[in-house]
Chains A and B, each alone.
Chain A
Amino acid sequence: MPGRWILLFIFLWSPFAVFASDNAYLEELIQRARQANLSQRAEWLNLLHYKPYPYWPGKRSLADDSEFFNAPHGKTDAAAELEATLAAFFSTSEETDKTQNPQCRFIARYQWLKQELQFDPARLPSQPCKRFYQWHASLDPHEVTLVFPAAYLNNPASMYGHTLLRIDARDQDEKTRLLAYSISYAAGTDETSGLIFAVRGLFGGYPGVFAITPYYLKVREYSDIENRDVWEYQLTLTPKEIDRLLMHVWELGPTHFDYYFFDENCAYHLLSLLEVARPGLQLTDRFRWWAIPSDTVRAVTDQAGLLKRVVYRPASVTIMRQRLKQMSADQGRLARDLGQQRIDANNDRIRELPALDQARVLELGYEYTAYEATTGGGKAANAFSHMRNLLLARSRLEVPPQKPEVAVPSVRPDEGHKTSRIGIGAGSRDGRHFEEIHVRPTYHDLLDHDAGYTRGAQIQFFDMRWRHYRGDDGLRLEEFKPLDIVSLSPRNDFFHPVSWKVNIGWTRKRFPGNEEPLVFRLNGGPGLAYSTPEKFDGGVVYYGFIEAALDVGSRFDRDYALGAGPAIGLLANVTDRWGVHLSARSLRYGLGDDHWSRDLVLEQRYALSRQSALRLGLSRKQEFHDYWNSGNLSLHFYF
């Protein structure tokens, strides 16, 4: 018995025995590292993911995983971590399928320190790290691409878009990109409720992890299932930089970070990988408070010489829309009927078409059936036999593929207006003049110029307005909306989305007797939107909503008012620069403090440049029994 304990004791202490025998060399390395002040170098701090605290001075690592550090206080003490890491490199433990030698586990740190301190291989032998090099060989890295699936509005958690990195192998080209691997950072959770995810995600409630996935699975998710257009930004990273990036990804593999939806999200962490790859790049600095994926893409494209070229990958739905545009209305209806399984592949009306048109109708019919099956509409249950018949019929036609070319949008997501906005303006309400400041930290409203954005998608956070009335003292808060989302998704024969809106915040409400206190308001509801028929993403969108509103404030009888009513509107681009939004709403607050609230609003925007615009708002409103008119001209800057 005692013999076994002694053996166990020796086994446990053996790594330290190794340190002891080479102590002198370790001491020497530590001294040299101290002299060179390596632990404060940007490369080292980047490898440890040290970032400044947002609220007070100093830095700490964002990694929330003790395994990522060799020193007990490695999260806050970069120097101690460096020295403990050097000590760990003397380990002679051999790699197994589940464990690694520290030199391999921290291979990016090892390679950097080896280069800076010129390790003597006789005194600090280097480990083979077979698993890493096998992994590296199977990726066969040649180029790195930043992938940006554009926003997909109707899910609140996906509204900002998402980013991932793609490792392109040497022998791939644009036709075989599906075979690449992607590296993404995401919250590791089985949470199936988007809402719960969004809420917990705000507060770092999930562990975030880096993962590697075949790109074809990502394309399936984004292009085929979620119908998001994907932008692929190929970067100019050199082989050496790519190696550094992959070594670092390897280190990060099992490491977890607390996932924060706003700031420490996928986009933020991918930027930090690029900072490791190319020392000197400063991409994350500007995202101390929040990181919006499209802004992080902008940070990358803003860097001189980092972008090689951009490839646009239209979503399945985008391709279907393009097919429809190039097809006669009759054939479009046939394709629709195929997709809704009202007719089958051998229908006479299809068979009597010329072969080329048959191919067009069958191809679109198949895509539409797949779309319906995926999105849960239609008769999904027996779609497979129908789908196979469509393809079988198509395969018998000896005509070339009819997949249309989709024109690349002229403005990329990183080229649209910037996402923060400030506006200054002046106006009059019933003859009382006022000046106004409007701050919208992020992101896009219905009237902002659409270029690079999804039309009809409004997403604003922490929108604030202050107003000063001529003759009054000081500024007063007019409105504060932490969250304001509108999703207008036009319907047509093929697509039947339900539009919706939700907003929450505080706003001024006029009570009888000209009192105007701030009240809390929760407002939202479902709606239907349509666009001018000739074009699906056409110039005019019109809509109707059924809205509900809950107002809470001490000025109300019983402290609240709960109302509902219709809202209608029209959104149009008169010219490329000139946009118009006309809306009307009538809410009957029938519960709590009984009253009516109505408004008629005409808003216009004229874009002076991509980053500036004029806005003119005219409105007539009613609260309780008071009616009043107001007008407001303002100048907006995007930054």
Chain B
Amino acid sequence: MLNRKLVAVALVGLFSTGAMAAGENNIGTCGWGSKAFDGQRGIAPQVLGATTNGTSGNQTFGISSGTSGCTQDGVVKSTWKTAMFIDGNKEKLAHDMSTGSGESLESLAKLIGVHDQHKAAFFQVTKDNFGRIFSSDNSTTDQVLASLKQVLASDSELAQYSLSI
């Protein structure tokens, strides 16, 4: 498994110098690079960036660097928190919703302020509506947000939380 990854990385390295330059993913779209999940080989630069303890495009995460994209001094602005979280955890969230549990689902519940007494319902409703929330094979973050909002709005107990998405 490992060497295959290295090979993939090496191949990407050959072609990517300009195209996958620093922080490109984040400009304008306020995403963490969901593109990494769009193009399967696109994940390689991230793998490499991480395994070599290198960081590319650190401007996005710059501490005390002022406003940059959706961050202020390196911290995600509050209006973007939920969208950025979904963007960075889409596969995990889909997995968690399908089983009705898991830390990314717990964290999402926390982000939109679901009270403890509504958490079980939140988990159940997102599980039951998995097919609606992830309505296509490759849902964008916007689509997931919009459909999650709809699903919550149509549930009497959870409707209040649709407002915080």
Contact = CB atoms under 8 A, between A and B. Distances in A.
Interface of A: 97-98, 100, 105, 131-132, 134-135, 138-139, 152-155, 157-158, 162, 171-172, 175-179, 181, 183-184, 186-194, 197-198, 201, 206, 209-214, 216-217, 220-222, 224-227, 249-254, 265-266, 359, 363, 366-367, 370-371, 373-377, 380-381, 383-385, 387-388, 391-392, 394-395, 400-403, 487, 489, 495-498, 500, 526
Given A197-B54, A211-B55, A220-B88, A497 B1 contact: yes
Contacts of B84: 214
A434 B123 CA distance: 70
B10 A193 contact: yes
A152 B56 contact: no
Given A376-B44, A495-B1, A220 B63 contact: no
B143 interface: no
28 contacts: A134-B73, A135-B72, A138-B75, A138-B78, A154-B2, A155-B2, A155-B48, A157-B52, A157-B53, A178-B103, A179-B107, A190-B17, A193-B10, A194-B48, A194-B51, A210-B63, A216-B107, A220-B92, A224-B91, A224-B92, A225-B46, A265-B53, A370-B91, A376-B4, A376-B40, A394-B99, A395-B100, A403-B101
Nearest to A489: B2
Nearest to A131: B73
A405 B125 CA distance: 25
B63 A253 contact: yes
A154 B7 CA distance: 11
B6 A194 contact: yes
Interface string B75-96: 1101000001100110110110
A254 B127 contact: no
Contact of A497 (B3, B78, B104): B3
Contacts of B62: 211-212, 253-254
B72 A187 contact: no
A388 B94 contact: yes
Nearest to A132: B64
B16 interface: yes
A155 B134 CA distance: 35
Contacts of A213: 61
Interface of B: 1-10, 12-13, 16-17, 21-22, 32, 40-41, 43-48, 50-58, 61-67, 72-76, 78, 84-85, 88-89, 91-92, 94-95, 97-104, 106-107, 110-111, 127-128, 130-131, 134, 136-138
Given A210-B63, A217-B32, A375-B5, A190 B53 contact: no
A194 B63 contact: no
A16 B53 CA distance: 43
Nearest to B13: A192
B68 to A, nearest CB: 10
B127 A377 contact: no
A384 B84 CA distance: 21
Contacts, number: 247
A186 B99 contact: no
A226 B51 contact: yes
Contacts of A154: 2-3, 5-6
Contacts of A186: 53-55, 58
Contact of A212 (B32, B61, B111): B61
Interface centre among A139, A216, A363 (most CB of B within 10 A): A216
Given A178-B107, A226-B47, A250-B64, A375 B74 contact: no
A157 B4 contact: no
A188 B58 contact: yes
Contacts of B56: 188-190
A177 B89 CA distance: 13
Contacts of A224: 91-92
Contacts of B48: 155, 192, 194
A231 B161 CA distance: 34
Contact of A97 (B3, B55, B66, B134): B66
B61 A403 contact: no
Contact of A191 (B54, B72, B128): B54
B40 A373 contact: yes
A211 B131 contact: no
Contacts of A401: 99-102
A214 B127 CA distance: 26
A383 B43 CA distance: 14
Contacts of A359: 99
A380 B7 CA distance: 15
A495 B92 CA distance: 21
A402 B98 CA distance: 11
Nearest to B43: A374
B85 A209 contact: no
A385 B50 contact: no
Given A157-B51, A176-B103, A190-B21, A395 B74 contact: no
Contact of B106 (A176, A227, A387): A176
Given A192-B9, A394-B99, A253 B64 contact: yes
Contact of A221 (B7, B50, B65, B98): B50
B58 A178 contact: no
> Which 3 pairs show the lowest CB-CB distances between chains A and B?
A154-B2, A253-B63, A253-B64
B116 to A, nearest CB: 11
B42 to A, nearest CB: 11
Given A373-B40, A497-B3, A211 B52 contact: no
A391 B134 CA distance: 10
Contacts of B137: 384-385, 388
B47 to A, nearest CB: 5
B111 A179 contact: yes
A176 B82 CA distance: 14
Contacts of B1: 227, 371, 375, 377, 489, 495-497
Contact of B55 (A152, A209, A370): A209
A147 to B, nearest CB: 13
Contacts of A131: 64, 66, 72-73
Contacts of A210: 63
Given A376-B40, A388-B134, A135 B64 contact: yes
Given A216-B107, A221-B50, A498 B2 contact: yes
B63 A211 contact: yes
Nearest to B64: A253
Contact of A391 (B64, B73, B95): B95
Given A214-B76, A366-B95, A392-B131, 13 more contacts: A184-B55, A211-B55, A211-B63, A225-B46, A227-B1, A253-B64, A363-B95, A376-B8, A377-B4, A384-B137, A391-B98, A496-B1, A526-B3
